[in-house]
Amino acid sequence: MTIAERIMARRSSAGSVRFGVCKAMTVALLLSAPLGLHANVETPDVYEPVAPTIDQARANILIARQLQFTHFRDLGISDELSGDVFDAYLDYLDGQRIYLSQDDIAKFDKIRTQLGSALKTGQLQPGFDIYNLVQQRIIERLQFALETIDKGIDTLDFSANESILVDRSKADWESNAKALDDLWVKRIKNAVLAQRLNGAEDEAIVETLRRRYEGQLKRAYQARSEDAFQAYMNAFTGMWDPHTSYFSPRTSENFNINMSLSLEGIGAVLQSDNEYTKVVRLVPGGPASKQGQLEPADRIVSVAQEDEKPVNVIGWRLDEVVDLIRGPRNSTVTLEVIPANASDETITETIAIKRDEVKLEEQSASKDTIRLERGGKEYTIGVITIPTFYADFQAMQAGDPNYKSTTRDVRNLIAELEADGVDGLVMDLRNNGGGALHEANDLVGLFIDKGPTVQIRNANNDVQVLNDEDPSVAYDGPLVVLTNRMSASASEIFAGAIQDYGRGLVVGSQTFGKGTVQAVRPLNHGQLKITQSKFYRVSGGSTQHKGVIPDIEIPSRIDKTRIGEDALDHALPWDQIEAVPHTRYFDFSGIIDELRKRHEERFSTNPEFSLLQQEIDFLTKQRATDSVSLNLEERRAEHEQIERTRLTIANARRELKGQTPFESLEDLEDWQDQQAADLNSTDEELDFVIREGGHIMADMLDLDNRMASILDPQQFAAQSPAAAVTR
């Protein structure tokens, strides 16, 4: 009997059903205290296949109904969808195509077209059969890896002209087990080479690799029915859109803790990404954000507590990684991550983060000023930074008249800046992932008279329009809004409204493109997070997928091919509905070309912009690398070139600030560790993107003065950006 036949023949003796799929988009917010620790479990000799339960079958039927009848996207469960679910499921279980062979895939040819009808009726067994076979293959591969290491890494040949693909997600499946053996020898050689080049001795390399593979092997043997069900359901729900996902009872518990804002930990949002746990975003004001080394799209390899050995978490369930990273305040957790810009998966860095409470005041809006000169006139530019759209709901419900919120705080900051005599205002929404929708609505209202701010369309094509009902205006002067790829959701609503009203200019890079609204619905077993509506700008265009395109673009280090709505599989498309009547305060078309010209002239001569472009070029080249050499000498030359470039860029930045250059990359890394250990250290200097926002504002004001000197007052008021928004 084959493994697949044995798996299919097995049934639970406790009433499990003979039933029969992602990317698991489940997100966890690492803030709360630990829910539990991991017990040391003996690794069994034989893998025990998992089987579906009656509760899971019932939940599957409920999920299928919700998706078909209440999701924003009208998508039926068809044979075509069945094949897509099959492919998505395999992508989740073996995304790098390192466990299954073509021979294995052939075993499931008939299942490929049957998953859809099975999922309608709660027949889960086909999905579990696939899961069990993959787990068996994972065990076989890891056992092979351990056997290869036991033979001695000194027997591996690093002189041949060999290479290995960095990303195998689009590669063909290897033909059979023998071809997979050859691939895994290359993977081991790649891992050994990377650690040797980082200065590790062979004995330490063997210990590290053995610990890694043994940890993954242990997790494979400990597979649970719920693991298979969650992966299967997320492959299924992910067909509708990437933000629709199934939460297991355990994941639901984590989600509910997140929503209650028990804010103690490192402050990071994570999700499953094939075998890895990937950083989605950092919580403003949280320890990880303040520490500064962890970045979106980094993938976590291992986790270490204080004075303990690292625990390899490749292949772990998301909720277990969350438990391991959580911990009490003032304790330190050390993460080994594959940086988002790494050329291959063997390049890692270690990041120590002191856990702490995320304080509301550290997410609050803050202000600063910039003084710039144009044409012999000095301008004072106000800057307001908004890390998130927040509101203290408990204080609000308790009737506290002084409760904190984004809009209240910004109104106060504007008043303080106007008292200082600012000539213009820059709103910094970079890295603002959104938050309370009503705060975005109210914030727009600080800059316009009464009017619509955003449209929301549901699956029935019913459109709700949110309005600013308050005719008062907190600020009527010229405005610039800074955005980047991590500006999402509520940030996009605000930036889009300011752009549509002609109330100000949007400067920076294209935003994330998260223009959908989700609701969490209870099931008999876990919860379903489902997309039920979309956001649309007052001009009619959706913020979904496309985001907000800036009027003046500033390049960013963030890789748009990896981060953003349009980088996600099955994301809902951009579309548009009818615009709603709204005021147009100013048409910038008459001055935008001159503003862009001045910006580009500064860009071409500003050493900070030049350095940014140099770093972007370096990162782009690294990301474009599709394979790495397994020849020791070639690899060493590549490694040394990368280290030289990193050090050159870091020292160039230090020289711009008048600081002493680092003598070596080790000095740079030691300095980064020291900075990370001090959560109270802050960079008081405004970064150059904010300063460029100030320069663009000064250009607007300068153009105002020039126009005022040659036009009569009435003609000037009709054409001037500053006068047009001044009531």
Write down which residue in 288, 322, 357 finishes a domain. 357
Question: How far apart, in whole angstroms, are the C-alpha atoms of residue 408 and residue 394?
Answer: 16
Give a yes or no: residue 619 inside a domain.
no
How many CA within 13 A on the CB side of residue 129?
28
- DSSP track, 430-496: TT---B-HHHHHHHHHTTSSSEEEEEEEETT--EEEEEE-----S--S-EEEEE-TT--THHHHHHH
Q: How many CB atoms lie within 10 A of CB 336?
A: 19
53 and 132 both lie in a single domain? yes
Q: Let me know: does 169 contact 130? Beta carbons within 8 Å.
A: no
Q: Let me know: does 221 contact 234? Beta carbons within 8 Å.
A: no
151 and 8 both lie in a single domain? yes
Write down which residue in 246, 279, 313 finishes a domain. 246
404 and 432 both lie in a single domain? yes
295 and 430 both lie in a single domain? no
Query: Encoding tokens for residue 425?
Result: 């205002």
373 φ, ψ (degrees, to nearest 5): -115, 135
Number of structural domains found in the chain: 3
**CA-wise closest residue to 166 among 185, 180, 187:** 187
Residue 129 annotated among the catalytic residues of the structure: no
Query: Encoding tokens for residue 166?
Result: 């960095």
Q: Which of 489, 509, 542, 629 is the catalytic position?
A: 489
265 and 217 both lie in a single domain? no
344 and 365 both lie in a single domain? no
First to last CA, the chain: 83
177 and 294 both lie in a single domain? no
Q: CA geometry: angle at 649 spanning 609 and 427, to 5°?
A: 40
Which residue has 């969808």 as its token pair?
Answer: 81
- DSSP track, 376-392: TEEEEEEEEE---B-B-
Residue 23 annotated among the catalytic residues of the structure: no
Instruction: Going from the first residue of the chain to its last (727 residues), give the mean pLDDT of each consecutive group of 10, the final group possibly shorter.
Output: 36 31 38 36 74 97 96 93 95 94 93 92 96 96 96 94 92 96 96 89 93 89 93 96 90 47 65 80 80 86 88 82 84 89 74 78 84 89 94 80 89 96 96 91 96 96 95 95 95 98 96 94 94 97 97 90 92 97 92 95 88 86 88 91 87 86 82 60 62 94 66 46 40
Give a yes or no: residue 710 inside a domain.
no
Q: Please give the pLDDT value at position 727.
A: 33
Q: What is the CATH number of the domain that holds 325?
A: 2.30.42.10
Q: Please give the pLDDT value at position 620.
A: 85
Write down which residue in 524, 552, 587 finishes a domain. 587
Q: Which of 500, 551, 699, 704 is the catalytic position?
A: 500
Give a yes or no: residue 696 inside a domain.
no
Q: Please give the pLDDT value at position 650.
A: 85
328 and 454 both lie in a single domain? no
Q: What is the CATH number of the domain that holds 431?
A: 3.90.226.10
254 and 336 both lie in a single domain? yes
Residue 720 annotated among the catalytic residues of the structure: no
The parent domain of residue 378 ranges over 361-587
Give a yes or no: residue 87 inside a domain.
yes
- Name the residue type at position 447: F
392 and 457 both lie in a single domain? yes
Give a yes or no: residue 137 inside a domain.
yes
**CA-wise closest residue to 142 among 192, 229, 225, 211:** 211
Pairing of strands 366-374, 377-385: antiparallel
Q: Let me know: does 244 contact 254? Beta carbons within 8 Å.
A: no
Give a yes or no: residue 279 inside a domain.
yes
Question: How far apart, in whole angstroms, are the C-alpha atoms of residue 718 and residue 723?
Answer: 8
Give a yes or no: residue 697 inside a domain.
no
477 and 535 both lie in a single domain? yes
Q: Please give the pLDDT value at position 438.
A: 92
Q: Please give the pLDDT value at position 173.
A: 96
Give a yes or no: residue 639 inside a domain.
no
Q: Which of 514, 529, 534, 546 is the catalytic position?
A: 514
Q: How many CB atoms lie within 10 A of CB 325?
A: 24
19 and 135 both lie in a single domain? yes
**CA-wise closest residue to 223 among 323, 136, 124:** 136
